[in-house]
């Protein structure tokens, strides 16, 4: 199992530690809802609507995207993006 600790714009690769970046959702006050998924070859684009802050004081909603790379039926890498077009390009999808 791979533990995921990554930033809003960051990456995780199997077998490599990634430092926690302060703006990435995490903690008791943060919630994420999947808003879209799309598959292109070995890439899966996941859109997220993220609400709250780590300390539970924040409100509002932010959009984030992740691109998961799958190899041999397992997630081999996760890339995080603030911009859907960048995420779609990384996943080799047409932007919406």
Tens-digit pLDDT profile for residues 28-76: 677 888 999 999 999 999 999 988 776 666 677 889 999 999 998 888 9
3-state secondary structure of 49: strand
End-to-end CA distance of the chain: 33
For residue 9, is pLDDT > 60?
Answer: no
Least Cα distance to 76 among 7, 10, 8, 11 occurs for 11
CA distance 43 to 96: 17
CATH for the 11-90 domain, from 3.30.870.10, 3.40.50.410, 3.10.450.50, 3.40.50.970: 3.10.450.50
CA distance 52 to 71: 33
Higher pLDDT, 36 or 26: 36
Tens-digit pLDDT profile for residues 62-75: 899 999 999 988 88
Can you give the pLDDT at residue 43? 94
| Listed range (24-28, 53-57, 82-86) with the worst mean pLDDT | 24-28
């Amino acid at each position: 199992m791979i533990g995921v600790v990554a930033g809003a714009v960051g990456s995780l690769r199997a077998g490599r530690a990634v430092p926690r970046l302060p703006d990435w959702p995490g903690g008791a006050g943060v919630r994420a809802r999947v808003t879209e998924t799309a598959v292109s070859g070995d890439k899966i684009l996941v859109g997220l609507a993220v609400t709250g802050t780590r300390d539970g004081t924040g409100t509002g909603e932010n959009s984030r995207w992740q691109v998961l790379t799958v190899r041999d039926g397992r997630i081999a890498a996760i890339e995080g993006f603030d911009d859907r077009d960048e995420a779609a390009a990384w996943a080799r999808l047409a932007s919406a």
